[in-house]
Amino acid sequence: MSTFLVTGAAGFIGGAMAKKLIDQGHKVVTIDNLSTGYREAIPEGVEFYKGDCQDYSLINKLEKYSFGAIFHIAGQSSGEISYDDPVYDLQTNAQSTLLLLKLALKTNCKKFIYASTMSVYGAKEDRLIAEDELLEPKSFYGVGKIASEQYMRIYQDYGITSTALRLFNIYGPGQNLKNFRQGMVSIFVAQAVYNEHIHVKGSADRFRDFVNVDDAVDAFIAAYERESNHYLDVNISTAQKTTVKQLIRLIQENIPYDVTTEFKGSTSGDIFGIVGDNSKAFKTLNWKPRIKLDEGLKEMIDWALKLKTQKVK
């Protein structure tokens, strides 16, 4: 049994990650500012500190622990929202990483796993994007994530082995259905389930690479277990292209009533499409996605429908 720090356990990916570790019999500590997550979403048994990861005084309180690894997942996670306050975005996404790396160094924690993002790449042509691609983020969000990756690379000289998982579009049960500015799948599923109408901001031909949250959690575990002293950045992607049109059709097929669609407006910092080469993930982490999009979506929609029924009762 080890003790792990999982930041952002009130959120979608952090929550799933914390639950996995708790289920494996480990002790989990989390920091979450509950800005988008909910107190009730934190899995049972997790020790909770409320606050920001960019807050020195809070991070200092964690010096009493001896973590087997730090999974840094907290942080503002929407390209669109990063336009509201780029300075806050820099603090939540880059300053936080600096403080947590410093904590790792102080407490002799040797492993650091980070939720980075496909947003570091920016707008690219329609082809598989590998990790050595030139980084030209289109959002402030992507800039802070790159800075974090660079910090982790520097800290390898101090004996901390970091992995930056460049997560593509993560979806699945547990995703926030109330935030209509974050997560393409959750936005569309929530609209379909609650409004019977999907409002798409942007073209139907845009495309993404959708990764199930359970597969993403497996990648975090694989990153923790890998044996190396070197910093690694790696795509967590399926290498499968799905257009917005295809996604909406899949959602419609799994909803037991008619769902209308409407295309209007656009989104700041949005990219037309990106699909990630995942051969490096297989090579370095022995990781590949297991869950097919249609199965994963079905499970997610069933969960969302159930949630709706429970709330109506």
Q: Site residues (CB under 8 A) for its own copies?
A: 86-87, 90, 94-95, 98-99, 102, 132, 134-140, 142-144, 146-147, 150-151, 153-154, 269
Residue 262 tokens, joined: 């409407």
SS3 171: strand
Least Cβ distance, residue 136 to its own copies (angstroms): 7
Question: Cα–Cα distances in Å, from 239 out to 71, 126, 130?
Answer: 24, 12, 10
Smallest gap from Cβ 284 to its own copies, in A, equals 18
Q: Which is nearer to its own copies, 99 or 129 (CB)?
A: 99
Closest CA to 219 of 43, 8, 16: 16
Q: For its own copies, give the closer residue by CB, 31 or 98.
A: 98
The two tokens of residue 44 are 């049972």
Q: Decide whether 1 or 134 has the Cβ nearer to its own copies.
A: 134
- Distance, in Å, from the CA atom of 81 to the CA atom of 78, rounded to the nearest integer, reads 5
The residue among 75 and 137 lying less far from its own copies, judged by its C-beta, is 137
CA atoms of 235 and 168, how far apart (whole Å): 7
Q: Can you tell me the distance from the alpha carbon of 136 to that of 23, in angstroms, rounded to the nearest whole number?
A: 39
Burial class (CB in 10 A: 0-12, 13-18, 19+), 2: middle
Angle, vertex CA 106, rays to CA 102 and CA 108, nearest 5: 110
Q: In the complex, what is the shortest distance from the CB of residue 24 to its own copies, in angstroms, rounded to a whole number? A: 33
Closer by beta carbon to its own copies, 154 or else 260: 154
- The nearest distance, CB 131 to its own copies, in angstroms, is 11
Which residue lies nearer to its own copies by CB, 9 or 90?
Answer: 90
Residue 79 Cβ vs its own copies, minimum distance, rounded to whole Å: 11
What is the nearest approach in angstroms of its own copies to the Cβ of residue 253? 37
**Please, which residue, 102 or 199, has the CB nearer to its own copies?**
102
Closest to its own copies by CB, 68 or 86: 86
Q: What is the DSSP string of 70-115?
A: EEE--S---TTGGGT-HHHHHIIIIIHHHHHHHHHHHTT--EEEEE
Phi, psi of 4 (to 5 degrees): -120, 145
Q: Which is nearer to its own copies, 29 or 90 (CB)?
A: 90
Nearest approach, Cβ of 91 to its own copies (angstroms)?
8
Helix (H) or strand (E) holding 164: strand 161-167
Least Å from the CB of residue 43 to its own copies: 31
Residue with tokens 């049994």: 1
CB of 152 to its own copies, least distance (A): 10
Under DSSP, the state recorded for 63 is: G
Beta strands in 227-289, from DSSP E residues, in sequence order:
232-236, 242-243, 260-263, 275-276
